[in-house]
Amino acid sequence: MTSSAESPIGASLPRSRAARFVTGKGRYTDDFTAPRMLFAAFIRSPYAHARILHIDASAAMERPGARRVLTAKDIAAVCKPYRAVNNIFPTMNSPLQHAVAIEKVHYQGEPVAIVIADTRAQAEDAAEHVQIDWEPLPAVTDAEAAASSKTPVIHEGFDTNLCFQTKIETPDIDKCLQEAAAIIEESFIFGRHTGVPLEMRTILANYDASDGILTVTQSHQVPHELQGIYARQLGLAESKVHVICPDVGGAFGIKLQAYNDEIAICAAAVILQRPVKYQVDRLEAFISDVQARDHHVKAKIALDANNDILAFAVEDIFAIGPYPQFPRSSLQEGFHVIQLTGAPYRFRDYRGVLQVVFQNKVNAGLYRAVGQPISCALTERMIDMAARHAGRDPIDFRREHYRREAEFPCKSPSNVALTKMALLQCHDAVVDGMQIRALRKEQAALRERGILRGIGIATFVELVNPGPNYYTNAGLAVSAQDACTLRLEPGGTVRCRVSLSEFGQGTDFSIGQVVAATLGITASAVEVECGDSWTAPFGGGSWASRGIMMGSEAGWRAARTLRESILKTAGQLLQCPAESLDIRAGEIVEVSGRARMSVAELANIAHYRQGLLPKDCQPELTATSHYSPRDLDYVSSAGVQSSYVEVDAETGFVRLLRHGVSHDSGNVINPLLLAEQLRGGAVQGIGSALYEECLYDEDGQLLNGTLADYLVPMAAEIPDIEIYDVATPWQPTGAPKPKGVGEAGVAGASAAILNAINDAIYPLGASIAQIPCTPERLLDVIDRARKPPAG
């Protein structure tokens, strides 16, 4: 368990407005007996599916420090139920959700009560004394079973466990499959995993009844979006909700949705009118944080007589837990699978079938790269199998079938608009950088000695920075714009407030670089602030690799406006045309380079000594710019990854020897941050390929909910990730126009490793199509390949 002292959120608790009182002279004075912060512990269901028959909290209330035990009835008095709704998917089944379960639980870890006490330890102690009578119910855990009409339905009022289904297909797909010279098929299983951020989800909610303001400090990605959610759920005006998301210690999409326990903490603060803090511990995180990637997929690739690609076909069953996540739903993970399969390649016909099913596991949904690692793995494994069938090197086979640069922009057979992508450049950068043809010779020599090494390559297409059309059509209160406000301070520094949030990706620093370069000042003279729904201009926050794409554009536009204002004011003060002046390294100079005054000196005059200015001079030293990508639904980006592995056929252990990444990153603002984003993402992808999986038994009980059992890649398992970026350095004379890279490393890593492993074990006649590729699974496929055919 984590004590409150370990979290910076607790340390920075602001004094409550309720601690102020009005003196006889009508002035506010501080009362230093502010309401003391309370701590929450959740009682969570030990069952994946059960009825709640009775809750007895009497013994808990006798424990030291216990203040209140809040049940569903208490929370429901101030908090509305909710459901995920998306107008683009009108047939989506979406059960009503509650911040605290009412009458029935649908997954292990679902909150059923909250214990409030003076300390976290006291809250947890009291929680141990709450008595609950349960009626266990059968659990539905398997994805394919959930899709069957014979399986019991987990939600009352529904006649199916099907959340949603859809199909994308071209008119001639059946004819194409019938007439194809060859059809290659494979069935895939992708295991569940979760984000494991360094910082656990943490929330501190404080409701001040004197002015009706709810202040929430939270480890989250989207402060403005949360402001609206909390206001609607608690019946407050949005102007009365203040959400602060300070620097967050990792997010990966699992801190994008509104969680039931976090909504419940806000409700508890309203009920108690006291600050209430809750911090998920690592054990709770495994049964409450969003998980992802629970897919069972059947895939086909069709070839003609010349071994050219005719079609792809996929059927995906995606299991999301008992509810679509709120508010965005979980469906986009499945949609990306059926939309992006085959995307890098030229072919004519396509079929993608998606079934999204309910099950008794914690929710699955939007996690880093959102379905794109699945579509990449499907595509790239099928491409490797097609190359084997054709007797071609998979490197050359890919290069021959890529979409060419002249084809962009275009629409894929799955009806996805694709913008310009540097597929060939990324491919060649990895092939040359990894020296794959030389590795082939080394691989062949080692095979002669019984050493199994494999080379895998994977091309990925990712859709980043979704535009406003999607969220407008979906009817979701999600902003697809972002904004930047710049204010020149009297000392010459520029205060930069952006609507984005910072959780380790370096967005704030990069935006500061853009602002500084555009203004003509040093980066150290820009102070960037983000993550505050009251002080920052309104915007969508950071997700979908959009942070630097949106923030740099808004910052560049605001900086251009502020620069014009500074030069206009300087021109009026110096009695010369603004066009004859420039700003360089914080100095206002003539175009020739002769210094006239510093930006700091101008700021001091404009703020404090206006009497020195001409009478018609009104300095405008604050600028705000908003940006929304109105012309595109998404920006498509691409990259290639390659892995070099060694497989021990006797133990099933896989050793990753080398891993390379190339990416079409557009204009690069900060090369070091870009490279480290690609490396960090690749490590997460390596984890999903080899180690990470949330394992459940048939009753829906998580079997490996600790970091001793849920394996994440450590330094000893990871080689130095080689980066071969395909990009252009940004020049401040033009718009930044970078491409997001936050998810690129994840998107292709597991596919490259899957192909490398299959390349290594091919001489044994074995193959694997399940991720993660654990030693047990590898030994199983190798053993089956070695056994003689029955009979």
- CA 296 to chain centroid, in Å, comes to 22
pLDDT above 70 as % of the chain: 95
Q: Using omega within 30 degrees of 0 as the cis cutoff, is the peptide bond preceding 468 cis?
A: no
What number of other Cβ atoms are within 10 A of residue 450's Cβ? 8
Contact 476, 86 (CB under 8 A): yes
Task: Please report which confidence band the pLDDT of residue 13 belongs to, taking 50, 70 and 90 as the band edges.
Answer: very low
Task: Please report which confidence band the pLDDT of residue 635 belongs to, taking 50, 70 and 90 as the band edges.
Answer: confident
Q: What's at 419, amino acid-wise?
A: T
What number of other Cβ atoms are within 10 A of residue 273's Cβ? 15
Cα gap 745→675, rounded to integer Å? 10
Contact 314, 186 (CB under 8 A): no
| Residues in a beta bridge with 464 | 635
Which sequence spans correspond to the domains of the chain?
17-26+481-627, 32-137+198-251+255-288, 291-468+631-786
Task: Assess whether the region 17-26+481-627 and the region 291-468+631-786 belong to the same CATH fold.
Answer: yes
Task: Please report which confidence band the pLDDT of residue 10 belongs to, taking 50, 70 and 90 as the band edges.
Answer: very low
pLDDT, tens only, 115-166? 999 999 999 999 999 999 999 999 999 999 999 999 999 999 999 999 999 9
The CATH code that applies to domain 17-26+481-627 is 3.30.365.10
Which CATH architecture does the domain made up of 32-137+198-251+255-288 adopt?
Alpha-Beta Complex (3.90)
Q: Using alpha carbons only, how large is the chain's radius of gyration in Å?
A: 28
- Taking residues 537-556, what's their average pLDDT? 93
Predicted confidence at residue 30, as pLDDT, reads 42
Least confident of 94-98, 517-521, 665-669: 665-669
DSSP annotation of 136: E
Angle at 433 between CA 428 and CA 438, to 5 degrees: 95
341 Cβ contact partners less than 8 Å away, ≥ 6 residues apart: 299, 312, 314, 350, 352, 375, 378, 379, 414
Q: Which parts of 489-586 are beta strand (E)?
A: 494-498, 526-530, 581-584
Selection from 217, 357, 212, 343 nearest residue 278 by Cα: 217
Contact 216, 204 (CB under 8 A): yes
Cα gap 751→378, rounded to integer Å? 8
Predicted confidence at residue 791, as pLDDT, reads 58
pLDDT, tens only, 580-620? 999 999 999 999 999 999 999 999 999 999 999 999 999 99
Q: Tell me the CA distances in angstroms from 596 to 3, 97, 112, 426, 445, one per residue in order.
A: 56, 64, 68, 47, 70
Phi, psi of 545 (to 5 degrees): 55, 35
Is 770 in a helix, a strand, or coil? strand
Predicted confidence at residue 673, as pLDDT, reads 93
CATH topology of domain 291-468+631-786: Aldehyde Oxidoreductase; domain 4 (3.30.365)
Q: What stretches of 258-371 show up as alpha helix (H) in DSSP?
A: 260-272, 282-288, 331-340
Helix (H) or strand (E) holding 469: helix 468-474
558 Cβ contact partners less than 8 Å away, ≥ 6 residues apart: 484, 485, 486, 515, 623, 624, 625
Phi, psi of 511 (to 5 degrees): -65, -40
Query: With 70 as the cut, is the pLDDT of residue 26 above it?
Result: no
Query: With 50 as the cut, is the pLDDT of residue 307 above it?
Result: yes
Helix (H) or strand (E) holding 230: helix 223-234
What number of other Cβ atoms are within 10 A of residue 554's Cβ? 29
Cα gap 310→218, rounded to integer Å? 50
Cα gap 351→420, rounded to integer Å? 24
Predicted confidence at residue 727, as pLDDT, reads 79
Predicted confidence at residue 3, as pLDDT, reads 36
What number of other Cβ atoms are within 10 A of residue 511's Cβ? 32
Tokens representing 170 are: 């071209």
Predicted confidence at residue 630, as pLDDT, reads 78
Neighbour-count burial of 475, counting CB atoms closer than 10 A to its CB (0-12 exposed, 13-18 middle, 19+ buried): exposed
Tokens representing 67 are: 């203040």
- Taking residues 496-522, what's their average pLDDT? 95
Q: What is the widest separation between alpha-carbon atoms in the chain?
A: 102
Q: What's at 675, amino acid-wise?
A: A
Long-range contacts of 438-444 (CB under 8 A, 24+ apart): 439/644
Q: Tell me the CA distances in angstroms from 202 to 40, 217, 226, 279, 569, one per residue in order.
A: 11, 8, 14, 4, 46
Residue-averaged pLDDT of the chain = 93
Contact 354, 318 (CB under 8 A): yes
Task: Please report which confidence band the pLDDT of residue 787 belongs to, taking 50, 70 and 90 as the band edges.
Answer: confident
Selection from 427, 433, 442, 423 nearest residue 396 by Cα: 427
Q: What is the 3-state secondary structure (H, E, C) of 731-743?
A: CCCCCCCECCCCC
What number of other Cβ atoms are within 10 A of residue 643's Cβ? 32
Cα gap 34→562, rounded to integer Å? 41
Predicted confidence at residue 8, as pLDDT, reads 39
Predicted confidence at residue 408, as pLDDT, reads 92
pLDDT, tens only, 248-284? 999 999 999 999 999 999 999 999 999 999 999 999 9
Predicted confidence at residue 34, as pLDDT, reads 58
- Taking residues 698-710, what's their average pLDDT? 97
Tokens representing 640 are: 């290639």
pLDDT, tens only, 523-537? 999 999 999 999 999
